[in-house]
A and B are shown apart, each in its own frame.
Chain A
Amino acid sequence: MRRRFGSAVFYLTLGFLVGLAVASASRRSRPGAGSPSRPAARELRVTSAGSAASILFGSSSEDSPAMWMSQGRGRGSVQLGVHGNGFPFVLVSDAAIRNFGLVRVDGKNASPILVYRSDDVVRLVFGLSMTEAGRPAFLAHYTADGARHDFLGAYCDHPSRACTR
């Protein structure tokens, strides 16, 4: 009985050490544990001395990779990255994001879209259809009072975003 207990402890210890070694090896092989010459981090901020300008690489509130570039003091900014649903975007805007140019991919067709907004009003949308088969091209522009003019094709701009689902 005593011998069997000793044997059980031995095998338990041996198994524990093997399991620990396997876990340690798998942790080391993860990306992120890079060598000092190839650093990996959760966030990187690039600043310049005597300037409010900065670049930030990190995760967005949607837990997606993104980069923010700004000059500070209420000026414009550039943001680029991937939305939580996997669609990429590039946004060039003023600090309040009331005026911007946006390049993005959206909708069930993963359609490329280009949007210009001025004073919080979308003035031009250009791209491939997010809803129609064959993804025909469209170009819609808006007057300052919001009236839409389809210059080319048809743009679905339902406010519920039904067109992008």
Chain B
Amino acid sequence: MADWGRNVVAFFFSALGMLAGHWVGTTGAPPARPPTTALAAGEALSVPSFTLVDAEGRQRILVATSREGSPAMWFFDRNGKARLNLGLYGDDNAFIVLNDDQERAVEILRTRGPKSAPFLVLKAEGRDRIVMGLGGAAMDPFLHYYDVDGTRRTVFGSAMP
């Protein structure tokens, strides 16, 4: 009976102590401040990546190099999904991509090919629905859209993306 009582005391006070310690550690202490770097006037900050965090410490903007080794930037929503991405592809063409809440590309504004032809692609459910830009040898303008059944309609121009 005495052992049982000792165990209860040990369990109860350990748990109470842990809760108190955790509370003090998370709320009682001042919030962790992001590291700061003092720069002299005119000096540049050179780092391999930069993360902007919100008040809760969540990553909201990331500036870094992509898997292709090109510079890029990602904007994250509150759920940690990348909703906006811009930068350069591996072939140095530029892009801006707007994503839905499942990180699927919805709108792509980019250049393409050795002539850096401008393209705008609007997508739904992962499928291209509107493609507009300049293409072909003469870089002629074109505008195509796709019906719900996937049939391509040409509004003007004929260049294929």
Interface residues in chain A, defined as those with a beta carbon under 8 Å from any beta carbon in chain B: 4, 7-9, 11-24, 26-28, 30-44, 49, 57-59, 63-67, 80-82, 86-90, 103-105, 109-112, 114, 126-128, 134-137, 139, 152
Interface contact A88-B84, CB-CB below 8 Å: yes
Summarize B's interface: helix, strand, loop or mixed: mixed
- Whole-angstrom distance between the Cβ of B40 and the nearest chain A Cβ: 12
Total A-B contacts with CB atoms under 8 angstroms apart: 238
Q: Which residue of A lies closest to B11 (CB)?
A: A11
Which residue of A38, A58, A112 contacts B48 across the interface (Cβ within 8 Å)?
A38
- Whole-angstrom distance between the Cβ of A10 and the nearest chain B Cβ: 8
Interface contact B84-A81, CB-CB below 8 Å: yes
Interface contact A65-B124, CB-CB below 8 Å: no
Q: Can you list the 5 inter-chain pairs with the closest CB atoms, starting with the nearest?
A: A23-B25, A15-B17, A19-B21, A112-B107, A32-B53
Interface contact A112-B52, CB-CB below 8 Å: no
Interface contact B106-A105, CB-CB below 8 Å: yes
Contacts of B34 in A (CB 8 A): 32-34, 39-42
Give Cα A105–Cα B77 distance, bound, in whole angstroms.
13
Interface contact A128-B122, CB-CB below 8 Å: yes
8 CB < 8 A contacts A-B: A4-B9, A7-B10, A15-B15, A19-B25, A23-B22, A27-B26, A36-B37, A66-B75
Contacts of A38 in B (CB 8 A): 47-51
Q: Which residue of A lies closest to B49 (CB)?
A: A38
Q: Which residue of B lies closest to A36 (CB)?
A: B35
- Whole-angstrom distance between the Cβ of A17 and the nearest chain B Cβ: 6
Interface contact B129-A128, CB-CB below 8 Å: yes
Interface contact A128-B47, CB-CB below 8 Å: no
Interface contact A128-B130, CB-CB below 8 Å: yes
